[in-house]
Amino acid sequence: MEAKLLSIALGFFLLFLPQVASVRVELDKEKIAGFWKEVAVASDQNLVLRAQKRVEGLFLTFSGRNITVKAVYNSSGNCKTEKAVGSERDTAGEFAFPGHREIFVLDTDYEHYAILRMSLIWQGRDFHVLEYFTRSLEDEDNPSFWRFRDMTADIGLYLLARHGRCAELLKEGLI
């Protein structure tokens, strides 16, 4: 019973978090474009955290209302890339992709960190993931990371730091 109540509370939190964020931040696409290294992931779905493809970094580009996300994954020790093109929704910082996938920029200072909410429907279930990204390959221990960690710990989400060489290769433009 407690697990079900926690799941309902988490769903409620994730449902309303984007609306709160959209009120505070007007996304500047030029400033958020470029390289981002994934530092941490939080989700109420353990399956999301155990995925075969482990994102290490993203490279974002924009053209009008479209966003192209080039993601680099570590798949069994090999670096793989995928590109996805989405379109901006009416809410600032929210993008929809084919396959019932969404990205919502919750918070960013553009220079050091970004917190994104990823949502998708898979096998008829909704999955939500909060992800913390930095521009730097080394700088992970800053106040914004600790805010992210505290936020996710308070609502009982899993937290998993990710490290690897694939993000470095993406930042250097080698993949």
We report the CATH number of the domain holding residue 113 as 2.40.128.20
Determine the pLDDT at residue 41: 83
Q: Do 22 and 91 form a contact (C-beta atoms < 8 A)? A: yes
Domain around 113: 2-171
pLDDT at 26 over 90: no
133 or 41: whose pLDDT is higher?
A: 133
61 or 159: whose pLDDT is higher?
A: 61
Q: Do 57 and 167 form a contact (C-beta atoms < 8 A)? A: yes
pTM: 0.79
% of the chain residues with pLDDT over 90: 37
Confidence band for 13, pLDDT divided at 50, 70 and 90: very low
* Range of weakest confidence among 43-47, 85-89, 142-146: 43-47
* Range of weakest confidence among 89-98, 106-115, 136-145, 153-162: 153-162
% of the chain residues with pLDDT over 70: 74
* 71 CB-near residues (< 8 Å, 6+ apart): 55, 57, 58, 81, 82, 83, 84
Q: How many helices (H) and strands (E) does the chain have?
A: 5, 9
Q: What are phi and psi of 118, to 5 degrees?
A: -105, 135
Look up residue 37 and give its two tokens. Answer: 């290294």
154 or 94: whose pLDDT is higher?
A: 94
Q: How many CA atoms lie within 13 A of 57 on its CB side?
A: 25
Q: What is the per-residue burial (b if ≥16 Cβ within 10 Å, else e) of 57-89?
A: bbbbeeeeeebebbbbbbeeeebeeeeeebebe
18 or 112: whose pLDDT is higher?
A: 112
69 or 124: whose pLDDT is higher?
A: 69
Determine the pLDDT at residue 18: 38
Report the domain count for the chain: 1
Q: Quick one: average pLDDT of 13-39?
A: 67
* Range of weakest confidence among 11-15, 40-44, 94-98: 11-15
